[in-house]
Amino acid sequence: MFVWGRGMARPWRDQRGWDTLASNLRVGGFVETATWGDTVIISNLAPESFRPGSYASVCGMRQVETAVQASEHGCTVGETLYLVEFGDGWSVELTGNWIDRVEESPAE
């Protein structure tokens, strides 16, 4: 079990499929090779609860499996959700259209 958001725990069974998604992502605007630890920036158009303009790290991914889950996240069944964690430890799950991968600058 891991901590999800602000003190809410999610059972391990919710992580099913995440390993598969790491190698076979089906996402819209987000880079399809996203992996754990990638740095992302939250879109300035994202809702305030997602901390627009902030940097975060991808720490999980899963596919929406049911209509109820899709309704909760405002997306469609089969879409990928990303669990991102901010520097202060707070995390949020959101769809790929709210995040952009931050490319690392080449070593000099």
Mean pLDDT, 10 residues at a time, the chain of 108 residues: 40 42 41 73 94 95 95 93 95 92 64
Residue at 32 is within a domain:
yes
Radius of gyration of the chain (CA): 13
pLDDT score at 103: 77
Find the helix or strand (DSSP H, E) in which 68 lies. Answer: helix 67-73
Helix (H, G, I), strand (E, B) or coil at 103: coil
Residue at 106 is within a domain:
no
The dihedral region occupied by 44, where left means phi > 0, alpha psi between -120 and 50, and beta the remainder, is: alpha
Q: How far apart are CA 65 and CA 63, in angstroms?
A: 6
What strands lie across the sheet with 80-85, from one edge to the other?
91-95, 80-85, 55-63, 39-42, 99-101
Domain membership of residue 22 as a residue range: 2-99
Our count of domains for the chain comes to 1
Contact 41/50 with Cβ under 8 angstroms? no
pTM: 0.66
Residue at 9 is within a domain:
yes
